[in-house]
Amino acid sequence: MKYTTIIFDCDGTLLDTLTDLKNAVNHVLASHDFLVRSNAEVKRALGNGVEHLLRESLPTSVTENEIPPLLSEFKEYYGEHLQDFTSPYDGILNVLDALRAEGYKLAIVSNKIQEGVIPLAKNYFGDRLPVAIGERPNLQRKPAPDMVLQALRELDSTQEESVYIGDSEVDVATARNSKLECIGVTWGFREESLHQELGVKYIARKPADILDIMKLLNQ
């Protein structure tokens, strides 16, 4: 088998986290009498970590010095509410089970803080994804390759035998920077047109498509 390992993005790829993230953003905004954000506005800001999400959601009048305490408020609230509405996308668990049954090694790599990735991975996926890498001090965040390479080390896999799956422009850049084959998904936080514009060759429009694409790649 040419490809033995699959690295997944988390938010927008495996888990629909939009509502819980939007609620955390709007909790901070409303607490400071700022205008709250819509689903579409939050969705556009997702994919590059919580600090980017919050910065994009705050009014331009907020100064740089005011951001750290607001970010702490966000992390505290989200840490307490990250499973209120979050759930795997329909069909994802079946796909992960099928991939594991075929012998693939699987991992999550996410710009979500490590404290968020671990409980979500464990609670929603059990032992399906034994390696879960989130934002941590000693690793550069995606689209840098550091987190992906760390996951490959923990899985004892190489770049040549690995595929990266994600939903956003950050994920496409991560795959390229990590020198991994890329599969773009269209059910998350970005449209299919984005993947086409970025030249993504393999596009999954539903989770089951991942199984077909992996069979194609391993022909």
**What pLDDT, in 10s, does the model give residues 174-215?**
999 999 999 999 999 999 999 999 999 999 999 999 999 999
Nearest to 117 by CA among 204, 39, 50: 50
Contact indicator for 42, 57 with CB cutoff of 8 Å: yes
Please tell me the distance from the alpha carbon of residue 33 to that of residue 58, in angstroms, as a whole number.
11
Q: Check pLDDT > 90 for residue 120.
A: no
Report the pLDDT value the prediction gives residue 209, as an integer from 0 to 100. Answer: 98
What dihedral do alpha carbons 118, 10, 8, 216 form, nearest 10°?
140
The mean pLDDT of 83-98, rounded to a whole number, is 97
Please tell me the distance from the alpha carbon of residue 156 to that of residue 166, in angstroms, as a whole number.
21
Nearest to 165 by CA among 79, 81, 92: 92
Report the pLDDT value the prediction gives residue 114, as an integer from 0 to 100. Answer: 84
Buried b (16+ CB within 10 A) or exposed e, 42-75: bbebbbbbbbebbbebbeeeeeeeeeeebbebbb
Q: Check pLDDT > 80 for residue 132.
A: yes
Tell me the whole-structure pTM to 2 decimals.
0.94
Whole-angstrom CA distances from 54 to 15, 20, 24, 97 are: 20, 13, 9, 34
- Checking DSSP bridges between strand 202-204 and strand 181-185, what pairing results, if any? parallel
Dump pLDDT digits (tens) for 39-71.
999 999 998 888 999 999 999 999 999 999 999
Report the pLDDT value the prediction gives residue 49, as an integer from 0 to 100. Answer: 84
Please tell me the distance from the alpha carbon of residue 10 to that of residue 86, in angstroms, as a whole number.
11
Please tell me the distance from the alpha carbon of residue 87 to that of residue 139, in angstroms, as a whole number.
27
Domains of the chain by start residue, with CATH: 5-16+87-217 (3.40.50.1000), 18-81 (1.10.150)
Higher pLDDT residue, 130 or 135? 130
Report the pLDDT value the prediction gives residue 117, as an integer from 0 to 100. Answer: 87
Give residue for tokens 């990266």.
Answer: 164
Q: Check pLDDT > 80 for residue 1.
A: no
